Structure 1
Amino acid sequence: MKKIFIVVPEALLIRNILRSGVLDSLKKKGRQVVVFILCDAIPDYIRAEFADANVELVAVPDAAVPMGPVHRRFILFTHFLNLNDTTRVYFNYSRHYINRARWARAMYLAFLNICGRLPGLKPLVRWVEQVFFTEKNKTIAGYFEAYRPDLVFSTSITAKLDNVFLKEARRRGVPTISMTKSWDNATKMYFRCVPDHFIVQDEIIRSELARLQQFPPERIYVVGFPQFDWYRRPGVIKPREEHLRGKGLDPDRAVIFFGSQGIWFKQDYQVAEQIYQWIKRDELAKPCQLIVRPHFSNVKNTPLQKLKGLEHVSYDDSYHISDVFVDNWDPTAAENTDFANTLRHSDVVVNILSTIALDAACFDRPTINALYGGVYQNGRDVTHKMAEVVHYQWVFATGATLVARSAEELREAINQCLLDPQSKQAERKLLIDRLCYKVDGKSAERIVEVIETVLGQKT
């Protein structure tokens, strides 16, 4: 029986991979699976949900995969060698750098600009990574000795845990597959360690990964977003009345959904508050109500809590927060189902620069990017500057969303969506085709097909 290692460095990937159907499909193929999760101990509910005769769950504490200070500094100076609009935005306006001195940000960008243009530097960085930072780890090596895997599936190429497994697998000649966890990974970061094969979400990412990461395109497989498989599962979508009444809302009123981005856009609560005032004063084209979804990164202390309990507002803080995991959020099956229904039954979706625009397109929901009021630098609103990142330019290129750069533009855009929900329907279809590959409920199956193909090549 072939044995597969699946490396899961964050709880979000439990949803994307384990709950999406990848694990079930592997079991149907008769594969033995060992899942390594970055945590001190496997929670009982996770063990009850996944562990069985074909699946073993292993906790890997963060302390078991240490990284030295020299290695950390090396990564700091080489992680962003793909100098482009995304990295420029990151070093000028992200929460990590926005308050740093302007000269310091300019010097670092100048350094990256010079380094990024040096021929041969990127291959040299990977050579240094492999030769001088081997990350030989007795704990991880012990797992390889004990289980003798036939393949390692890394679910996040940028994660420390995944890189340790990939390096050990390479030393032992074990085939490896890795995924880009998020759709901005390939353009934002230079991968210090690469697998034998890559899985990505769409053809654009495939092209960019081959170009920027200097990786053979014939070993990159496109599968779509496995977490979107939930949106096509039979029995997931409930009737509108049932879902909205369950949230204390009126099925006869139009629904505006606002998805916050938490610590990345700390002031975006102002946008939700403005929408609520329009609803309260009946200043929109139709009687409306608001579903507010805070971000898991600050769900416990977000200013959006002020909207909780107000008339015509449903405050959705149903996140399954778990301090067991590094990202503190483990989206359960019930939470995934609830989120799918909220999107399906929303009449307008408002966010700043979230993946929610892709989620909404899966249900053909009119979507607005509010490019104001989310992040400030020295008192100046720079939210619109964040929209220059490469991966969101792909969204704007499809024309699938309306863009609002002020409160007045947002109100006009909401009214347009309420009065003409079919507007931009063709553009939303284009967004799905370009950025989601296929939303057919079979992305997880395609991941398993890649795994089986690579296993077959080994044989």
Structure 2
Amino acid sequence: MSSTTYRLAIALLGKGSTNHLHRKEVVEAFLQRGVSIHFLVREDYIDILSRIDTCAYSTVSFAKLSGFRAFLKPIFEYVRNLYPSSDPGRKSYFGMMSRYKRSASFRVLDHFYRFLARYQAVVRCIAFLEGYFALYDTVLGLDPKKIDQLLLLGVGTASSELEGHLVWWAKDHNIPIVSIIGNYDNLTSKGFRGVPVDRLLVWGPNMREDAITFHGVPEDKITEIGSIRYNTSFKTLPGNKEEFIISLGLDPHKKTILFAGFFYEFHYFEMMEIYRLLLAKGTDCQLILRVYPNKMLMSSVFMAPLLDWAEKQEGVYVSIGDPDFGSGSQDKSVLQIEEYELCNSLSCCDCVVNIFSTISLEACIFDKPAINMYYFQEPLSALARTPLYHDYEKFFHSRRLVSYGAIQTTRNRDELIAAIEYALEYPSRLATERKKTVELECGLFDGGACKRLVEACVQEYHQR
């Protein structure tokens, strides 16, 4: 093997990992540097992926823990996920999760765990113990002699637990690792990292600071490269507005509202009612109803009849976020998120409505007014207990994003209708705030993220 050629394994295990790493742009950039690519794919997705001819593919599976390791692993993970337990968002999130667990022993233990999760030094030790005792030998079916470097999404936090297994396995075999962050909230809303970091690739200045402050990653191990998705799909996929709108069966001369829902079925029904009320008031608009990529949501008894009905309504197009919702494990993260309709919808719409999701940031990228629908279904009197909803507004990343002043939060139907009407009438309002949001959160946005990714990986490999 020459000094300029090595074998890179890229893991496709967690949410949206194929959108970031299983891309022709990424593969071609590595091949130009003489680096061969071998994708390690979660078993339930190996037959779903559209393969890239120049790459190798294999599945990776994980052994189930047993004995004291199976007992310790969820405890270690839970304490890490609590961090930083002093943050208002973490307090609210985990407080709601434990509110109905009434046993005195659980409450005492939970208070102890929260006390531990206040301190970075403690969760850092817990992460080390978790890897040392529980994870290093759980990876099955991989030959370490065929891998010279490992690239993966995430740092072993919530939603990237499988990547954590792979990192500890690689460490045990002395394989160098490069970690890349996939979403703007991954370092602030998922607890403390579960793995050591050799090289961490982040989007921009805010994410760099998050890595240092929340995860104790040394600054010299962090490289800013921008977002892979935003520097590729968001620059190349949007096409002609009129042609795209017509392809959806909509009218290119009407104002278009993009609604990007979340886990809760209620919000999709509510948006359809708001659309009806807007039409009744004489607002000349149409609606793209974007369904969140989540297999449990798509299997809900409410969604199939709702979407069937919505598709038949004039001026409504239903966009499905998970193109493979009928395949893959129903209880695991979605690896592949639909991008063509998403990017073009963001480019062509006149305002975006969502529920404290990444879509707010993406609306800012396309300089579109962004509105949070932040209210929930009123509880029925027949319920024995009032439903508890996570207070997304308190999450650190939500607080920071809203603090830029680019995104409006509405708390009832009347406020939302008024906000939509105003956004359609005055789309340029808050344009300066949206630009600032993108600069701080997304970092470099010049189309060069893939090149910077490759340079960082190659440099890290040769410096090992």
- The alignment's TM-score, normalised by the length of structure 2, stands at 0.86
- Which one of 75, 78, 82 corresponds to residue 76 of structure 1? 78
Amino acid at match of 1:153: L
Change (3 A) 1:86 1:67: farther
SS at match of 2:132: helix
Of 241-250 and 15-24, the range deviating more from structure 2 = 15-24
Query: Which residue number corresponds to residue 125 of structure 1?
Result: 126
Alpha-carbon shift at residue 437 of structure 1 (Å): 0.9
| Superposition pairs of residues 232-251 of structure 1, within 5 angstroms | 232-234=234-236, 236-251=237-252
CA contact (8 A) 2:79 2:117 kept: no
Distance 1:139 1:231 in 2: 33
Distance 2:317 2:99 in 1: 33
Change (3 A) 1:125 1:221: same
Alpha-carbon shift at residue 151 of structure 1 (Å): 1.4
Check if 1:292 corresponds to 2:289.
Answer: yes
| Superposition pairs of residues 23-172 of structure 1, within 5 angstroms | 23-40=27-44, 42-43=46-47, 46=49, 49-52=51-54, 55-61=55-61, 64-68=62-66, 69-70=70-71, 71-83=73-85, 84-93=87-96, 110-117=111-118, 120-137=121-138, 139=140, 142-145=142-145, 147=146, 149-158=147-156, 159-172=160-173
Per-residue CA deviation, residues 50-71 of structure 1 (Å, 9 max, x unaligned), is: 142xx2111113xx33234222
Check if 1:316 corresponds to 2:322.
Answer: no
Check if 1:340 corresponds to 2:339.
Answer: no
Of 318-327 and 414-423, the range deviating more from structure 2 = 318-327
Percent identity, aligned pairs only, is: 20
Change (3 A) 1:380 1:239: same
- The alignment's TM-score, normalised by the length of structure 1, stands at 0.87
Distance 1:157 1:122 in 2: 14
Check if 1:402 corresponds to 2:402.
Answer: no
Of 346-355 and 31-40, the range deviating more from structure 2 = 31-40
Distance 1:98 1:202 in 2: 37
| Superposition pairs of residues 354-433 of structure 1, within 5 angstroms | 354-373=357-376, 378-379=385-386, 385-433=391-439
CA contact (8 A) 1:12 1:327 kept: no
Distance 1:107 1:425 in 2: 49
- Which one of 5, 11, 14 corresponds to residue 7 of structure 1? 11
Check if 1:448 corresponds to 2:451.
Answer: no
SS at match of 1:152: strand
Alpha-carbon shift at residue 381 of structure 1 (Å): 7.9
Distance 1:364 1:157 in 2: 31
SS at match of 2:452: helix
Amino acid at match of 1:28: Q
Amino acid at match of 1:183: Y
Check if 1:350 corresponds to 2:353.
Answer: yes
SS at match of 1:439: coil
Q: How many residue pairs align between the two structures?
A: 439
Distance 1:209 1:281 in 2: 49
Alpha-carbon shift at residue 26 of structure 1 (Å): 0.8
Distance 1:202 1:119 in 2: 23
Q: Which runs of 5+ in 1 are unaligned?
A: none
Change (3 A) 1:310 1:167: same
Distance 1:374 1:198 in 2: 41
Query: Which residue number corresponds to residue 273 of structure 1?
Result: 272
Distance 2:410 2:140 in 1: 51
Per-residue CA deviation, residues 356-377 of structure 1 (Å, 9 max, x unaligned), is: 0111111111111111126979
Alpha-carbon shift at residue 80 of structure 1 (Å): 1.9
Distance 2:104 2:377 in 1: 24
SS at match of 1:268: helix
Change (3 A) 1:119 1:98: closer
Amino acid at match of 1:261: F
Distance 1:362 1:179 in 2: 21
Distance 1:103 1:396 in 2: 38
Of 392-401 and 200-209, the range deviating more from structure 2 = 200-209
Distance 2:462 2:103 in 1: 53
Q: Which runs of 5+ in 2 are unaligned?
A: none
Distance 1:328 1:163 in 2: 15
Query: Which residue number corresponds to residue 217 of structure 1?
Result: 219
Alpha-carbon shift at residue 9 of structure 1 (Å): 0.6
Alpha-carbon shift at residue 3 of structure 1 (Å): 1.1
Distance 2:139 2:430 in 1: 55
Structural RMSD (CA): 2.8
